[in-house]
Every structure is written in C-alpha cells, then in structure tokens.
A and B are shown apart, each in its own frame.
Chain A
Amino acid sequence: RKEVEQDPGPFNVPEGATVAFNCTYSNSASQSFFWYRQDCRKEPKLLMSVYSSGNEDGRFTAQLNRASQYISLLIRDSKLSDSATYLCVVNRFNKFYFGSGTKLNVKP
C-alpha cells in the first residue's frame, strides 16, 4: 500500500470556483503534514504546513484528520495562477513521503 494516496485529477474549474483536494496516508505514526505545489517542469515548493487544528493562508485552507488519516486542501476564489499539481506530503522520523499529486487546471 502506498504511503500517501491522492486523486490524480485533473480538476478542471473556472476562475473564481472553490475546489477541494483530499489525500490519505497509511501510517498512523506520521508526524507532520504538508501541501506542496509543483508547476510544470519545476521543483516542488512548499505551499503550507497542515496542523490538526486546521490552518488558513489567504485563499488556502488545510485540514488534518488524524483519526481518519486524511488531509485536505481547499482553494477559494481560484485564480488562473493556481493551475499546478498539488502534492500531499507526510513526514515520519525526518523522512518525507509524497503523494503522486493532483493536477488543477483553472480556466478563464
């Protein structure tokens, strides 16, 4: 079983839409959680950390449900520039495990 599983998409949404991604992780000992963004032919970049209490950064909201072992990312008022692949990442004992990514296409 994969450490981190994500729906690969693509999610095709119009500008201004709200879109949500989920991912699940298999090991309950996972310690920290992140969303990374990867643009085509670029390196992954940290979008935000994910905390149990939920956290928000502008139009982005991340949630963690440890009991169900899933992580979510909500993007409100999506922009064309949000088009990218979103990678769910978990850390366990300083080892990072990546999901395969969810592709988002925001259309005008």
Chain B
Amino acid sequence: DAGVIQSPRHEVTEMGQEVTLRCKPISGHDYLFWYRQTMMRGLELLIYFNNNVPIDDSGMPEDRFSAKMPNASFSTLKIQPSEPRDSAVYFCASSPGQGREKLFFGSGTQLSVL
C-alpha cells in the first residue's frame, strides 16, 4: 500500500492567495484527519471525516479554512485568503476505524505564507 499521499510537499505563497492542500488516504480507511503542526502549538486537529462526512470541524481556525472530501480517496484543505500566521506543516492522516484506531500520516505539506 502506498500509504497516505499528500501534495504538494512544499508550498510558498503570498499573503492573500488561495492555497489548496490535497490528500489521498489509505484505501479502505474510513476516517480522514487534517492536522496542523507548529513549534508553538504542536499538532492541532483541524477537522476529521468519517465515510466522507465531516464529523468535527471545531479545530478549524476560522472561516478562511475549509475542507472537503468528495469521495473516499480524496480530500482537500483550502485556505482563502492565506495569511502569514497560517505558515505551518499540514498533515493528513487516515485510520481504519471500526475498532482498529491506529492513525497513519502522510508526509505533510510545508506551507509558507509570505
């Protein structure tokens, strides 16, 4: 299995631009999570999906952030407009669920907003 696949690996953009991060979970996993990691705040859960349905988006910082999962093999996290404080590593992770809760991470997207 290829594991969780994220793209791009690195994104550098200017303040005010739209940023879209992409994730392909492991096939057969029912849960998909988006995390953000910074030195100051550690790993923060932004949103998670179960069977493509958003379950908890209480960690999404504000309306500039949105996430979708149109099908079982693809999810996006969008930031519009981006701000310098959004600079962080964004991880996507998936989990089988159904009592097998182990979490598997993608390699992350390093986002820099100038």
Binding site for B on A (CB under 8 A): 31-32, 34, 36, 42-46, 49, 87, 89, 91, 94-101
Contact = CB atoms under 8 A, between A and B. Distances in A.
Interface range on chain B: under 10, 10 to 19, 20 to 34, or 35 or more? 20 to 34
B91 A89 contact: no
Interface core residue of A32, A45, A98, A99 (most chain B CB under 10 Å): A98
Contacts, number: 47
Interface string B51-82: 00001100000000000000000000000000
Given A45-B105, A94-B95, A96-B95, 20 more contacts: A34-B103, A36-B103, A43-B106, A43-B107, A43-B108, A46-B103, A49-B102, A94-B31, A94-B48, A94-B50, A94-B97, A94-B101, A95-B56, A96-B33, A96-B101, A96-B103, A98-B35, A98-B43, A98-B45, A101-B42
A94 B93 CA distance: 12
